[in-house]
């Protein structure tokens, strides 16, 4: 599966927003409500993408400061434009070497990122390093293994039925640790203990089949990366299979849901 990450393709902000950003924006406020951080704190956000969680932090948590980092220059430019707030700063950076001083932040948060980071324990240890004593460290990833991201699971089921090689690219195969037990164990290995884990859910409603299908053709993310790389005939077969399989309401809309696993820990250093 070493080759599978070539499909991840996190670069194009518009394509990301059409595929995932619109749904990650639904989960972000629910996660913040669960995280329960106070007003007036210094935040660090790891892997901000186009700013779904950053916008929610600024809107709901009244931060004293927010530094959001991501390795993608394009995403950082998008996030900066999407969250025009004097308290928020956006910077290119990597989860495995956070650009922040030790013991300098009150809340470290990360949305849908950890599974894409090569050294996950290092990323969590970095979050712990920059946390002040008593700081909150919180992150979430999709419930891939439990089929919690129904629009993605439906796509890959259809893709694998037509092309058995697609099975190795699916997120549940690539990221088997994204379960309640796997995440709790990973956090403990990185020195975050005790940790709490909760499921956070949101609906994903697609206007019609095109609203569901088009983002997969744009290339941002693992499933769209796979879809975009197919030759036209194979892409047409996949489209037809999905068109036949997806449940629709009378008005043509498609109602699915997403579930993320969220982790919360209080730093003891
Ligand atoms: C699914 S997107 C999530 C973006 C955003 N947090 C959201 O909720 O919409 C995954 C993000 O992880 C970022 N990422 C990938 N590898 C990373 C790393 N090593 N350090 C920090 N972020 C990383 C990608 O650039 C991308 O923005």
The closest of 47, 86, 29, 79 to 63, measured between CA atoms, is 86
Ligand 1 within 6 A of 142 CB?
Answer: no
Distance 70 CA to ligand 1 centre (A): 6
Q: CATH number for the 2-266 domain, one of 3.40.50.970, 2.60.40.150, 3.40.50.800, 3.40.50.150? A: 3.40.50.150
Q: How far is the CA of 15 from the centre of ligand 1 (A)?
A: 14
- Sole residue written with tokens 């095109």: 210
**pTM of the predicted model as reported, rounded to 2 decimal places:** 0.91
CA 200 – CA 180 distance, rounded (Å): 12
Percentage helix, strand, coil, to 5, in the chain?
A: 45, 25, 30
Average pLDDT, the chain: 93
Instruction: Quote the pLDDT of residue 4.
Output: 47
From the CA of 47, how far away is ligand 1's center (Å)? 4
Protein residue with its CA nearest to atom 4 in ligand 1: 49
Higher pLDDT, 14 or 65: 65
Query: Does the CB atom of residue 75 touch ligand 1 within 6 A?
Result: yes
- pLDDT value of position 269: 63
Q: Region 64-77: what's the mean pLDDT?
A: 96
- Cβ 94 under 6 angstroms from ligand 1: yes
Q: Ligand 1 centroid vs 53 CA: distance in angstroms? A: 11
At residue 16, the pLDDT reads 80
Q: Which atom of ligand 1 is nearest to the CA of 49?
A: 27
Where do the structural domains in the chain lie, given as residue ranges? 2-266
The 10s digit of each residue's pLDDT in 33-61 is: 999 999 999 999 999 999 999 999 999 99
95 lines ligand 1 (CB under 6 A): yes
Asked if residue 87 lies in contact with residue 63, where contact means CB atoms within 8 angstroms, the answer is yes
Q: For residues 185 and 7, what is the distance between their CA atoms, to the nearest angstrom?
A: 28
Is 46 a pocket residue for ligand 1 (Cβ < 6 Å)?
Answer: yes
Which residues does 115 contact at the CB level (< 8 Å), separation at least 6? 141, 142, 144, 171, 174, 175, 177, 178
**Using one digit for the tens of pLDDT, what is the confidence trace for 222-240?**
899 999 999 999 999 999 9
Give the mean model confidence (pLDDT) for residues 10-39: 88
Query: Do β-strands 105-111 and 131-142 pair in parallel, antiparallel, or remain unpaired?
Result: parallel
47 Cα nearest atom in ligand 1: 22
**Residue 72 CB less than 6 A away from ligand 1:** yes
Any atom of ligand 1 within 6 Å of the Cβ of 52: yes
Q: Tell me which of 116, 124, 262 to substitute to probe ligand 1's pocket, judged by most ligand atoms within 8 Å of the beta carbon.
A: 116
């Amino acid at each position: 599966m070493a080759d599978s990450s070539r499909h991840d393709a996190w670069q194009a902000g518009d394509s990301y927003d059409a595929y995932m950003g619109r749904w990650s924006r639904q989960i972000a406020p629910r996660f913040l409500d669960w995280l329960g951080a106070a007003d007036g704190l210094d935040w660090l956000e790891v892997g901000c993408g186009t700013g779904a969680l950053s916008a929610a932090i600024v809107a709901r948590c009244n931060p004293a400061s927010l530094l959001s980092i991501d390795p993608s220059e394009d995403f950082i430019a998008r996030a900066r434009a999407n969250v025009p707030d004097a308290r928020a700063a956006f910077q290119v950076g990597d989860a495995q070497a956070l650009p922040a001083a030790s013991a300098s932040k009150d809340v470290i948060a990360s949305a849908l990122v950890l599974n894409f980071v090569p050294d996950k324990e290092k990323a969590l240890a970095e979050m712990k390093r920059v946390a002040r004593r008593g700081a909150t460290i919180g992150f979430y990833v999709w419930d891939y293994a439990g089929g919690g991201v129904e629009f993605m699971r439906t796509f890959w089921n259809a893709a694998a039925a037509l092309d058995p090689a697609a099975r190795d690219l699916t997120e549940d195969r690539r990221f088997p640790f994204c379960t309640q037990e796997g995440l709790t164990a990973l956090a403990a290995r990185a020195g975050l203990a005790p940790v709490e884990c909760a499921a956070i859910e949101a609906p994903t409603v697609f206007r019609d089949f095109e609203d569901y299908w088009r983002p997969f053709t744009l290339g941002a993310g693992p499933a769209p990366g796979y879809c975009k790389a197919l030759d036209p005939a194979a892409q047409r077969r996949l489209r037809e299979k999905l068109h036949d399989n997806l449940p629709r309401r009378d008005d043509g809309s498609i109602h699915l849901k997403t579930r993320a696993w969220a982790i919360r820990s209080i730093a003891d250093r």
